[in-house]
Structure formats: C-alpha cells, structure tokens
C-alpha cells in the first residue's frame, strides 16, 4: 500500500471516502494515505468485494464460455433423431460391466439402452438403463437355471438355458413375452436372435422360427427351412447364413439387404447394422451391402484375416485371427474409434450392438468403447440433452444479448434526446414511449409470430424474435435514462462544456451519457436476464424459436405433458435449472454492479 | 477601444407567472486588456447579463432587445454553431462552483484537452500535451500527475485553477469570471485572484469580473458597474469609488457601508441596507431602489430615473446625483 501511495490532499481523501465508501478496507495508519482510485477502479474493487456477485459472475462466465465454446466440440446435428435412444435418464454407466461378471464373460448382448451379460457359469446380468418393465419381468436366476445363450433386442431380451428352454422378458407386445406354440416344444435351439421387437430362434437341424412385430421385420424362411446356420436381424428384415456358407435373404420383399453380392464365396460370419449387412468370407475379406449410410461401407485397411464380425446400429467391428480389432461406420459416439489400448490387446471376441462395443481379451478382461451414456439424459427424440442444452444456451443467450443491445441503443438514444432537449421533443418521445410500453408483449409477439412466422425461414424467425424483443423492451430504460439526463443536464459542468464551445448534441453523448453509463449498464444487465426469460417463454409456448433449433425455452416444451413431468424429470429439470441459474446469476451481477456503483446502497 | 460593448440589453425569462425582466436595459463596455467588475446583490441580473453575451441562458430565457457588440460583431444575432465557435475560443467563462463545473468522471487531462480539440482541431496527443502546459501555466505543482487525476481528487483551489486553465486554453480575448472565488476560502481566493491578474497582464486578456464582494472588485477591476434589479445604477472607474470614495448612488453607499472596516469603533453596529430585493415580478414603480433608499422622495417613488453623467466616466441612475455628498464616505 505505502509503496504506491502518492501524496493526496486530505480533502480529496475525504471526498473519495464520501463518494466511494467501501466495506472492506485495509487499515492504514494516520500518516499513511490510501491510494485514491479512479471511479472505474473503485467500482471494480467494490464489485470484487461482494462475494455473492462474484460467485454469480463466475458461474455466469463459466456458463457463457461453455455455451459459446461448447458447440464447437459437441456439434449439433439439427436433423438428428434416434428412436432407440428416447428418454434415457442421465447416466454414464451404459457400458459399466458388473464386477462379478468381469473375468468370466461368456457372452454380452446389447439392447438399445441396456446390456445383458452371461457369465461362464450361466448367470445373467443386466446393466445400463433398462426400462422398468424389463427389470420387473425378468425371470429370476433360479427360474432360468444355467443359461447358455442370450440375446437382446430394442426393449426385450431372450435367454436360453442348458435344458433348451427359452425365456423372454421385457416388452411383451406382439406376443414377444410369450413364446409361440411352434417354438414351445423345440428343445434343440442352436441360436437365439433378437431385433427390433422381434425374436428368432435357429435349431440344430437348420430351422428358423420368428415372432414379434412382423409389421416392421420382414421374416419369411421359405425354401431355406432346414439349411439355416445363423440369422441376423436388421431394422426391417432378416438375413441368414446357411450351413454351407451361403448368405440368404429371409425376406418376402426385395430390398437393399436382399441384393446379396454374388461373389462372396464361402461366408464364415455375417453381421447387420440397422440398414447394412456385412459378410466375412473364409479368406477373411469383409463385404458390405445394403442401404449404405454413415460410412458403414468404408472398411478400413485390415492387416490379417477377419474371423468374426459384430455390428452396432450404424457401425461394424471386426476381429482378425491375430486378435486385432477394427471398427468403422458412424462415429457420433466414438463407437467406431477403437481405443489404442484395445488395438494393442489380444482380443478373443467382440460384442457390439447399438452404440456400444465390448471386447473380451484372451486373459478374460472386458474392454469397452462407444456410448457410455448421456450425462444429461436424452429427450423424446433420442437426442443428447447435453448437446442441445449447450447449443440451446448459445441461441438463448445470443437472442437475449442482441435484443438487449437493440433495446439499449434505442432506449439510450431516445432517453438521452428526450431528457436533454426537453420541451416538445420530450413530450413527443415520451408519448411514443408510452405507446410502446402499452403494447402487451406476449399477445403481440404471438400474433406477429402467427402472421409472419410461417412465411419466413428459421433464421429469419430467430432474427425476428430478437428484433421484436428489442423493439418492445426499450421504454423502461428510456425513462430511466431520461430522468438521469434531466438531473445531469442541470449540473454546472454541462454549462461549462457549453461555455467551452462544445456543440449541444455532442454534450449529451460526450458529457452527460458517460455520467449515466452505470445506470445503463446495470439496467442492460437486468434486461438481458428478462430478455432471455421472455424468449424462453415464447419458445416454450411455441411462438419463439421452434424445433429442431434448440433453446432453453423450447427444450422445456416437453414439460407441458404430465408424462414428462412424472417420468422424465431430466427433460425439464435440466433446461429449467440452466435457465434459472443463468437468470439468477445475471440478476445477482446486476445487483452487485448497482451496489458497487452506488455507495449509498451499502448503507442499508 | 472597447472590446465588448453592451447597449440597452434586455434579457427576459418567460415564466408561468409572467415575464421576469432579469436584465432591463443594461449598458456597459469592457476595454481591451481591462477588467470590468460588476457588483450587485443576488438576483440583480449581473450573471444573466454576462451569460447573455454567450447565450448560455436557460431554456425560457431570451434576449429581448439590445445589442452585444464584441470585436465589431453583434452577438445578439449570432446563432447555433457560430456561437459555439466563439464560446471557449474568443470568450470563455469561469464559473462560481469549481466543485461541480468539472465533469466528475473524466480525468483533468481529458477535460482540459477538449477546448484544444474543439477549437484548434488538435490531435488527442497534442491536445493532452497542451493541457499539461496549461496546468503548468496556472501554477499547478506536478502538472503531469495532476493531469491524470479525477476532479474529486483535487482541492477546490486546484479545481478552480484547472477551470482557469481551461478557460484560457484558447487564448480568449474576453474572460467572463462569474464569481470565481465565492466558493473558495480566503487564502485560496487571494491566490486565485493573484493568478488571474498575472495571467491578464501576461496575455492581455480582458476580464468581465462578476462578484458581490467589493473587496475583490477593488483588487481586480479597472472599472466598476453596480447593478440593482436588472439595471446598472452606478458605473465608474474603480479609483473613483474606492480610491476617492466618491460614489454617489445610495445603493453603492449602502454596499460600501455594509463592509466591516478596521477603523470602525467597537460596539458600533454595521449598517445594513434595510428591506430586501423586490420580487422580479413585482417591481416597484419609479426608482427600483426607492423603497429601501433613505434619501427617497416622492419623485423617486413615482418616476424612474435615467442614467446621468456626473463626471467623466462616472454615471449614476439617481435624481439627485449632486445630493450625494458622501464623498467623505461617512454620513
């Protein structure tokens, strides 16, 4: 303190104390004088001393940075939606293999939001986020006995025990839960498979039986009954592999899957994503066909001979004879980026499904990659809430900020002119301000949105909301600025500036407004919060930004349904918390600024 | 030659209750390099007459008639931006309140460089350099660091020096000092007056010095105009009034008597002018001072006196200039 302190007159010290009283000040001796700061520095220091506002500022800045930098990392795909991933609660344990299962995994079957594991001693484990019904209807271990094979579909699972008995649990629509008559007697089941609400069994003697949602899954064994060795279920059809290594279509209709390439040779393994099939020949070559999307046909350079292949919803994972693992296809959840630790490991078997991969190494450990879960859950369209929250926050804050900039510019200009010139100009501008203030905001915005909303593009619509918000919210600031300018213009320094030859219209902006700037900043800060809230209100009601563009307001939209409120808390709690936190922080910052600027407010 | 000549100036303020004739037929002139002191009570129109020169009147004020010849140009007809070129450049003002005449949120440097930038179109850097020079010329110690400070960090005397520096920045021909020392304590007052006198000599600036302090007038002015109720009641060289004590108007006499003197015996009450200044909307008929004048006659109460010359450069507004007497300064 003493090092920097310059000699200041006692008068100025008293004056500065009077003007800028501080809560905490370093005790100095009578002889030592305190450094007198410029008004701006004093405001900053006062603000820093206010712990609440500083907390608010830190939280808000953090949110702001996340929201504005985040979308560069978590890219939002506006057209993205995924039926199989709807309404998943916040989790990061979709691939968290139970510790009891580790070391002796026999098989892992992957459903949409859950995985079922089978241990060497025939025990079944479930992890991830299975639907409540699935947990309820799952048969007990005693009931099932020693399980030898499992399969998982969208929301149901199958288990086969050593006595050849089949169990099905989870979704029981389309008679999935109860085994059809022609399957009940069968004991020589070799393979069980489950798909999108569909179950298939393959017997030792090459017969296949399927049941479930036949509207979606096209299944017709036809002439191949008796030759089938393995079946795979894609999103709308079934493909089989015969005992002599031939790939066959088990569908009635011709489609992308059924156009099986002719030069496959002898096929040892097949796998299907939701819309593409891959076959591995006995020479270890992988061939992909079907409805090719998301780069599933971009098979990487594989060193060695592929012996086995597995498929998720939009990706394939293959292992070679020397234990190397390769993944390709969609990579939105890093499901086709094989971690380097797994690339080095000696993989014995790989299980893939949906967005998860489990690799079992020769020493029995389980390695995973792919979708761990959704930190903030997923919404009704199966979209990641976190991504939408961040992108939505950016849009919400941008709209709020631009609306505030517009309203501040208008408010300050009109308020300044009105306050400085007074008289008829003031009279006219104040009446104008009253008219604007009298317009009921929500009905006006709704009507405008309804009239022009459908004729314009989404970007124009967002711009329109910013402009409406800005154009309708300036009156309060305008009145405030006018009153302040009224007070300031009577002060002597204004006359002094005039006497110095400064032009009148410059005096308002160069000499008076800087004196009022603190009020403007505080008001703009508080307006920012209310602009965000108003935008959210509009978007929630469906008159603001509409889906698929996310904002915190329209993310809350789902909460107008009772089911969402009851069952899917994360869909409304999380955006509500984000919005609430942001607005509270802004308000705290605004209050803190006001206190920092106006020393009288601390004398409460 | 007169630098500024005000002839029969009428400045009126329109209020809801009627027209306030704040300045009602005032004439005076300021010679080049000279100082004219204007004295009078509060509300006598001394400030308004000076502000009329620069047209720094409040919204409801206007110059009704009369002429303000400055350097051969009638300022009463000059409008808008042309006036801005004269303000601060040819004529500048020092105000009464140094506490509030500086903008509290700008540094001294920034405020002081403004006249240079406005009138001499200097660049910011140049203007700031000039500002520091100006601070030095008004004898502010350590001008470089003061320039970086804010008004609240300076004392009243320092601030008034800054105001003077700002007023003199563009070497004006006329400086209007509107009670520049009223808000300062006596020692600072003396310093400021000394400074102004020095600067006047150095630069040859004419000063229109407005005050209600006769002592200050004695020290500063070459000529004195005494104002009462919007009119000049007596005008004379300073030596006539203070040196020879040959003032003639009863109001001037009253003012002189109300100054405490060292030679007044103890126990003698200081003589005050009885009554108060009449309300500007309710001025008395006849001589405006008649109700408070101890020499007033019926004629005074009925008719308004004209300015009459009683000797060279000495005019008074009274029917009985010779009755005055009072040249001994005592009753």
B168 contacts on A by Cβ (under 8 Å): none
B56 contacts on A by Cβ (under 8 Å): 495, 498-499
Q: Could you tell me the pLDDT band of residue A403, with boundaries at 50, 70 and 90?
A: very high
Question: From CA B87, how far away is CA B176, in angstroms rounded?
Answer: 11
Q: Is A344 contained in some domain? A: no
| Structural Rg of chain A based on CA atoms | 34
**Mean per-residue pLDDT for A483-506?**
84
Subunit contact B92:A500, Cβ cutoff 8 A: yes
Report the number of distinct structural domains present in chain A.
Answer: 1
- Asked if residue A328 lies in contact with residue A316, where contact means CB atoms within 8 angstroms, the answer is yes
Nearest-Cα distance to chain A for B100, in Å, is 6
Task: Name the residue facing A500 among B88, B149, B150 (closest C-beta).
Answer: B88
Subunit contact A498:B85, Cβ cutoff 8 A: no
Contacts of B86 (CB under 8 A, 6+ apart): A501, B54, B70, B75, B78
pLDDT tens string A527-541: 899 989 988 888 888
Contacts of B65 (CB under 8 A, 6+ apart): B8, B9, B10
Subunit contact B104:A423, Cβ cutoff 8 A: no
Q: Is the minimum CB–CB distance between B120 and chain A shorter than 8 Å?
A: no
- Asked if residue A280 lies in contact with residue A237, where contact means CB atoms within 8 angstroms, the answer is no
Nearest-Cα distance to chain B for A516, in Å, is 10
**Domain assignment of residue A482, given as a range:** 50-71+384-486+514-603
Beta strands in A286-387 (DSSP E): 286-290, 306-311, 315-320, 325-329, 347-353, 356-361, 366-370
pLDDT tens string A23-78: 444 555 555 555 556 667 778 888 888 888 899 999 999 999 998 998 888 888 88
What residues of chain B, 161 to 200, have a C-beta less than 8 Å from chain A?
163, 166
- Asked if residue A232 lies in contact with residue A239, where contact means CB atoms within 8 angstroms, the answer is yes
Question: From CA A128, how far away is CA A110, in angstroms rounded?
Answer: 10
Q: Is A378 contained in some domain? A: no
Question: From CA A136, how far away is CA A122, in angstroms rounded?
Answer: 20
Q: Is A549 contained in some domain? A: yes
Q: Is A440 exposed, middle or buried (0-12, 13-18, 19+ CB in 10 A)?
A: exposed
Task: Name the residue facing A12 among B95, B115, B155 (closest C-beta).
Answer: B155
pLDDT of amino acid A235: 78
Higher pLDDT, A601 or A316: A316
Strand pairing class (B223-228; B35-40): parallel
Q: Is the minimum CB–CB distance between B114 and chain A shorter than 8 Å?
A: yes
Subunit contact A492:B95, Cβ cutoff 8 A: yes
What is the pTM assigned to this prediction? 0.77
Question: From CA B14, how far away is CA A234, in angstroms rounded?
Answer: 92
Q: Is the minimum CB–CB distance between B237 and chain A shorter than 8 Å?
A: no
Q: Which residues pair with B309 in a beta bridge?
A: B315
A498 contacts on B by Cβ (under 8 Å): 56, 87
* Bond preceding residue B180 cis, omega within 30 of 0: no
Residue appearing with tokens 């105009």: B225
Question: From CA A164, how far away is CA A183, in angstroms rounded?
Answer: 11
* % residues pLDDT > 90 (chain B): 0
What residues of chain B, 248 to 267, have a C-beta less than 8 Å from chain A?
none
Subunit contact A499:B115, Cβ cutoff 8 A: no
Q: Is A209 contained in some domain? A: no
Question: From CA A198, how far away is CA A219, in angstroms rounded?
Answer: 10
Chain B residue closest in CA terms to A422: B59
Beta strands in B182-328 (DSSP E): 206-211, 223-228, 231-237, 307-311, 314-317
Task: Name the residue facing A495 among B95, B106, B166 (closest C-beta).
Answer: B95
Contacts of B230 (CB under 8 A, 6+ apart): B21, B22, B23, B24, B25, B26, B44, B45, B48, B280
B54 contacts on A by Cβ (under 8 Å): 499
Does position A20 have pLDDT exceeding 70, yes or no? no
Subunit contact B118:A496, Cβ cutoff 8 A: no
Task: Name the residue facing A499 among B88, B150, B158 (closest C-beta).
Answer: B88
Residue among A293, A317, A301, A353 nearest A153 (CA): A353
Q: Is B201 exposed, middle or buried (0-12, 13-18, 19+ CB in 10 A)?
A: exposed
- Asked if residue A75 lies in contact with residue A388, where contact means CB atoms within 8 angstroms, the answer is no
A38 contacts on B by Cβ (under 8 Å): 107, 150
Q: Is A156 helix (H, G, I), strand (E, B) or coil?
A: strand
Contacts of A66 (CB under 8 A, 6+ apart): A390, A393
Subunit contact B106:A514, Cβ cutoff 8 A: yes
Count H helices, E strands: chain B?
A: 11, 12
Chain A residue closest in CA terms to B88: A500
Nearest-Cα distance to chain A for B17, in Å, is 18
**Mean per-residue pLDDT for A271-292?**
84
Q: CA distances (Å), A385 to each of A113, A482, A571, in order?
A: 15, 44, 8
Q: Could you tell me the pLDDT band of residue A5, with boundaries at 50, 70 and 90?
A: very low
Chain A residue closest in CA terms to B55: A499
Q: If phi over 0 gives left and psi between -120 and 50 gives alpha, with beta otherwise, what is residue A377?
A: left
Q: Is A41 helix (H, G, I), strand (E, B) or coil?
A: helix
pLDDT of amino acid A8: 47
- Asked if residue B169 lies in contact with residue B116, where contact means CB atoms within 8 angstroms, the answer is yes
Subunit contact B155:A422, Cβ cutoff 8 A: no
Strand pairing class (B18-31; A189-195): unpaired
Tokens of A302: 């594989």
Q: What are the φ/ψ torsions at residue A600 (nearest 5 degrees)?
A: -65, -30
B103 contacts on A by Cβ (under 8 Å): 493, 497, 511, 514-515
pLDDT of amino acid A195: 83
Q: Could you tell me the pLDDT band of residue A10, with boundaries at 50, 70 and 90?
A: low
Q: Could you tell me the pLDDT band of residue A435, with boundaries at 50, 70 and 90?
A: very high
Strand pairing class (B91-94; B174-178): parallel
Subunit contact B59:A15, Cβ cutoff 8 A: no
Does position A548 have pLDDT exceeding 50, yes or no? yes
pLDDT of amino acid A83: 82
What residues of chain B, 267 to 306, have a C-beta less than 8 Å from chain A?
none
CB pairs under 8 A between A and B: 87
Residue A414 is part of a domain; what is its CATH number? 1.10.3720.10
pLDDT tens string A349-386: 888 888 888 888 888 788 888 888 888 888 888 888 88
Subunit contact A496:B92, Cβ cutoff 8 A: no
Nearest-Cα distance to chain B for A498, in Å, is 8
Subunit contact B84:A502, Cβ cutoff 8 A: yes
Subunit contact B56:A19, Cβ cutoff 8 A: no
From chain A, which residues contact B within 8 Å (Cβ)? 6, 8-9, 11-12, 15-16, 19, 36, 38-39, 422-423, 491-493, 495-504, 511, 514-515
Dihedral through CA B98, CA B104, CA B107, CA B113, nearest 10?
A: -60
Does position B330 have pLDDT exceeding 50, yes or no? no
Average confidence score pLDDT of chain A: 82
Subunit contact B153:A511, Cβ cutoff 8 A: no
pLDDT tens string B147-186: 888 888 888 888 888 888 888 888 888 888 888 888 778 8
Does position A197 have pLDDT exceeding 70, yes or no? yes
Nearest-Cα distance to chain B for A64, in Å, is 31
- What is the helix (H) or strand (E) element at residue A570, kind and residue range? helix A570-597
Does position B329 have pLDDT exceeding 70, yes or no? no
pLDDT tens string A127-139: 888 888 888 888 8
**Mean per-residue pLDDT for A446-454?**
79
B96 contacts on A by Cβ (under 8 Å): 492
Subunit contact A499:B81, Cβ cutoff 8 A: no
Does position A558 have pLDDT exceeding 80, yes or no? no
Q: Which residues pair with A359 in a beta bridge?
A: A350, A367
pLDDT of amino acid A23: 42
Residue among A359, A330, A366 nearest A343 (CA): A359
What residues of chain B, 44 to 83, have a C-beta less than 8 Å from chain A?
54, 56, 59, 81
Subunit contact B152:A16, Cβ cutoff 8 A: yes
Mutate which of A4, A496, A514, A517 to disrupt the B interface (most B C-beta within 10 Å)?
Answer: A496
Subunit contact A493:B93, Cβ cutoff 8 A: no
Subunit contact A15:B152, Cβ cutoff 8 A: yes
pLDDT of amino acid A7: 46
**Mean per-residue pLDDT for A314-325?**
85
ipTM for this model: 0.81
Q: Where are the domains of chain B?
A: 102-169, 249-324
Subunit contact A12:B154, Cβ cutoff 8 A: yes
- CA B203, B207, B212, B216 dihedral sign is positive
Q: Is the minimum CB–CB distance between B160 and chain A shorter than 8 Å?
A: no
A502 contacts on B by Cβ (under 8 Å): 84, 88, 114, 118
Query: What number of other Cβ atoms are within 10 A of residue B124's Cβ?
Result: 11
A6-20, A88-102, A576-590, range with greatest mean pLDDT: A576-590
Chain B residue closest in CA terms to A503: B84
Subunit contact B153:A502, Cβ cutoff 8 A: no
Q: Is A404 contained in some domain? A: yes
Q: Could you tell me the pLDDT band of residue A431, with boundaries at 50, 70 and 90?
A: very high
Subunit contact A500:B87, Cβ cutoff 8 A: yes
Lowest mean pLDDT: which of A12-16, A104-108, B183-187, B257-261?
Answer: A12-16
Tokens of A551: 């904002």
Q: What are the φ/ψ torsions at residue B272 (nearest 5 degrees)?
A: -115, 155
């Amino acid at each position: 303190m003493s090092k920097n302190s310059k000699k200041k007159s006692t008068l100025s010290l008293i004056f500065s104390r009077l003007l800028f009283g501080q809560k905490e000040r370093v005790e100095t001796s009578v002889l030592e004088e305190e450094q007198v700061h410029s008004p701006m520095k004093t405001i900053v220091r006062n603000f820093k001393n206010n712990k609440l506002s500083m907390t608010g500022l830190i939280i808000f800045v953090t949110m702001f940075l996340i929201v504005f930098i985040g979308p560069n990392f978590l890219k939002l795909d506006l057209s993205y939606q995924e039926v199989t991933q709807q309404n998943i609660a916040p989790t990061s344990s979709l691939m968290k293999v139970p510790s009891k299962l580790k070391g002796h995994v026999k098989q892992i079957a992957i459903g949409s939001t859950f995985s079922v594991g089978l241990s060497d001693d025939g025990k079944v484990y479930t992890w991830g986020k299975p639907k409540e019904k699935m947990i309820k209807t799952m048969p007990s271990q005693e009931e099932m006995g020693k399980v030898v094979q499992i399969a998982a579909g969208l929301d149901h699972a199958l288990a086969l025990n050593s006595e050849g008995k089949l169990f099905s649990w989870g979704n029981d629509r389309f008679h999935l839960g109860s085994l059809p008559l022609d399957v009940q007697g069968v004991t020589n089941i070799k393979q069980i498979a489950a798909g999108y609400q569909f179950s298939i069994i393959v017997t030792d003697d090459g017969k296949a039986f399927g049941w479930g949602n036949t509207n979606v899954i096209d299944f017709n064994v036809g002439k191949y009954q008796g030759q089938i060795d393995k079946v795979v279920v894609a999103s709308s059809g079934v493909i089989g592999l015969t005992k002599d290594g031939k790939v066959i279509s088990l569908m009635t209709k011709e489609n992308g899957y059924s156009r099986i390439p002719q030069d496959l040779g002898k096929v040892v393994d097949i796998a299907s994503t939701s819309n593409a099939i891959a076959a591995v020949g006995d020479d270890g070559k992988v061939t992909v066909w079907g409805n090719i999307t998301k780069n599933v046909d971009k098979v990487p350079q594989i060193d060695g001979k592929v012996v086995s292949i597995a498929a998720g919803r939009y990706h394939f994972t293959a292992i070679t004879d020397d234990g190397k693992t390769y993944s390709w296809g969609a990579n939105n959840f890093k499901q086709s980026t094989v971690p380097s630790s797994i690339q080095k490991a000696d993989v014995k078997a790989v299980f893939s499904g949906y967005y998860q991969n489990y690799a079992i190494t020769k020493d029995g450990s389980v390695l995973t990659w792919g979708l761990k879960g959704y930190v903030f859950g997923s919404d009704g369209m199966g979209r990641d809430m976190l991504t939408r929250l961040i992108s939505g926050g950016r849009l919400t804050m941008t709209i709020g900020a631009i609306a505030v900039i517009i309203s501040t510019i208008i408010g300050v200009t009109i308020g300044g002119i009105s306050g400085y010139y007074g008289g008829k100009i003031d009279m006219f501008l104040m009446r104008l301000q009253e008219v604007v203030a009298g317009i009921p905001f929500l009905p006006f915005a709704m009507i405008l949105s309804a009239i022009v909303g459908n004729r314009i593009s989404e970007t124009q619509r967002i711009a329109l909301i910013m402009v409406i918000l800005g154009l309708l919210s300036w009156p309060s600031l305008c009145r405030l600025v006018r009153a302040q300018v009224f007070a300031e213009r009577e002060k002597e320094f204004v006359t002094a500036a005039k006497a110095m030859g400064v032009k009148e219209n410059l005096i308002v902006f160069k000499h008076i407004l800087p004196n009022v700037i603190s009020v403007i900043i505080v008001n703009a800060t508080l307006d920012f919060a209310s602009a965000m809230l108003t935008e959210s209100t509009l978007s929630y009601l469906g008159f603001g930004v509409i889906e698929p563009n996310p904002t915190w307001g329209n993310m809350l939209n789902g909460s107008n349904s009772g089911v969402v409120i009851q069952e899917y808390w994360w869909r409304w709690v999380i955006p509500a918390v984000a919005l609430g936190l942001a607005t509270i922080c802004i308000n705290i910052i605004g209050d803190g600024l006001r206190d920092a600027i106006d020393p009288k407010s601390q004398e409460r | 030659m007169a630098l500024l000549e005000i002839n029969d100036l009428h400045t009126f303020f329109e209020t809801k209750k009627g027209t306030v004739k704040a300045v009602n037929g005032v004439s005076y002139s300021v010679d080049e390099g000279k100082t004219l002191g204007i004295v009078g009570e509060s509300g006598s129109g001394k400030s308004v007459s000076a502000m009329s020169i620069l047209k720094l009147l409040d919204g409801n004020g206007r110059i009704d008639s009369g002429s303000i010849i400055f350097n051969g140009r009638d300022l009463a007809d000059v409008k808008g931006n042309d006036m801005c070129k004269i303000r601060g450049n040819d004529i500048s003002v020092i105000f009464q309140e140094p506490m509030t005449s500086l903008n509290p949120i700008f540094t001294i440097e920034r405020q002081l460089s403004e006249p240079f930038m406005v009138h001499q179109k200097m660049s910011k850097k140049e203007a700031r350099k000039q500002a520091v020079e100006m601070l030095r010329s008004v004898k502010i110690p350590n001008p470089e660091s003061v320039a970086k400070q804010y008004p609240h960090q300076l004392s009243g005397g320092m601030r008034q020096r800054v105001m003077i520096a700002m007023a003199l920045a563009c070497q004006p021909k006329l400086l209007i000092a509107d009670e520049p020392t009223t808000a300062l304590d006596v020692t600072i007052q003396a310093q400021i007056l000394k400074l102004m006198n020095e600067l006047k000599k150095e630069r040859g600036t004419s000063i229109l010095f407005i005050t209600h302090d006769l002592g200050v007038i004695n020290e500063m002015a070459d000529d004195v105009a005494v104002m009462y109720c919007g009119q000049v009641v007596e005008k004379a060289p300073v030596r006539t009034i203070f040196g020879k004590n040959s003032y003639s108007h009863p109001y001037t006499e009253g003012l002189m008597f109300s100054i405490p003197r060292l030679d007044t015996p103890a126990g003698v009450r200081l003589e005050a002018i009885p009554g108060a200044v009449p309300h500007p909307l309710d001025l008395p008929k006849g001589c405006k001072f008649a109700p408070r004048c101890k020499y007033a006659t019926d004629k005074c109460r009925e008719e308004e006196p004209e300015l009459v010359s009683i000797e060279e450069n000495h005019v008074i507004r009274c029917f009985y200039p010779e009755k005055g007497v009072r040249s001994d300064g005592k009753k």
